[in-house]
Amino acid sequence: MSELRDRQDVLDEVEDYDAVPWNYRAIGGSFKGIPWWAAILCAWVPAAVSAFIDINATKTVGWTFNVAFFAGALAAILLVQRRSLFAPMVQPPLVLAATVPLLVLQTGEVQKGGLASMALGLGKPLIDSFPVMAITTAVTVGLGILRIFLQKDPNRPTADEVREAKAELKARSKPARKPAREEAPEEPEERPRRPRPEGAPARRPRPEGAPARRPRPEGAARGERPAGQRRPRPPREDR
């Protein structure tokens, strides 16, 4: 059972590794979209073929070109990769300007007679195809903006996750408050005793039965006389 479980875990990892990243997908599903150069060809090839058919038949563009031009630009904006949306969004006017005049010149449908006739021969197909070009450009730009807003990273953090992360970073940036330290009472420092010099005589112990020392009167320690006592005067010398 453990071997089967390990094998299933390995298969799941391989499937996750082979999955197409969201930025490389088309508009729907999880399959990989076409690159930007393929999207340009997807819109340019149908437009060129249909324009060639219409110009040879009616000397201007018609419904064949309109349908093929719109379908090619729509397929390009739907199938292109999410990261390559810019080119399919803005390419309809460029495809029209590069396809129709070039085919008119190649087929020889321009009337000879000067610049006025040449401008008329090149301008008529462009004027006839302007409505479909405007509609196609509006559709491709709208679909591109819609894909930009709807097709996003599925693993991106939500608004709540972003808010929690900001709050956590803010809490980490604040310095932690230190608890007030209880001041211990200071112990009196013991005055070190002066060491006895070497060779000094030791203090003699008090003999047994000897009277205790007479207590000093109050104030004697400060050099004051006890109350009621006078200092004897020195004898006066006879003059």
Half-sphere exposure of 40 (CA within 13 A, CB side): 13
Cα 122 from Cα 56, distance rounded (Å): 14
pLDDT at 75: 94
Name, in order, each residue with C-beta under 8 angstroms of 49's C-beta and a sequence gap of 6 or more: 68
The residues pairing with 80 across neighbouring beta strands, listed in sequence order, are 34
pLDDT at 41: 94
Helices (H), 108-129: 115-128
pLDDT at 146: 93
Residuewise pLDDT in 10s, the chain (239 residues): 455 455 555 445 444 444 778 888 888 777 789 999 999 999 999 999 998 898 888 878 889 999 999 999 999 999 999 899 999 999 999 999 888 888 877 776 555 556 666 677 777 888 888 899 999 999 999 999 999 988 887 776 777 777 777 787 777 776 656 555 555 555 656 666 666 667 666 666 666 766 666 666 655 555 555 555 566 666 666 54
pTM beyond 0.85: no
How many CB atoms lie under 10 A from the CB of residue 105?
13
14, burial (CB in 10 Å: exposed 0-12, middle 13-18, buried 19+)? exposed
pLDDT at 48: 92
pLDDT at 4: 46
DSSP assignment of 25-45? B-SSSSSB-B-HHHHHHHHHH
Q: Phi, psi (5° rounding) for residue 113?
A: 155, 10
pLDDT at 39: 93
pLDDT at 93: 92
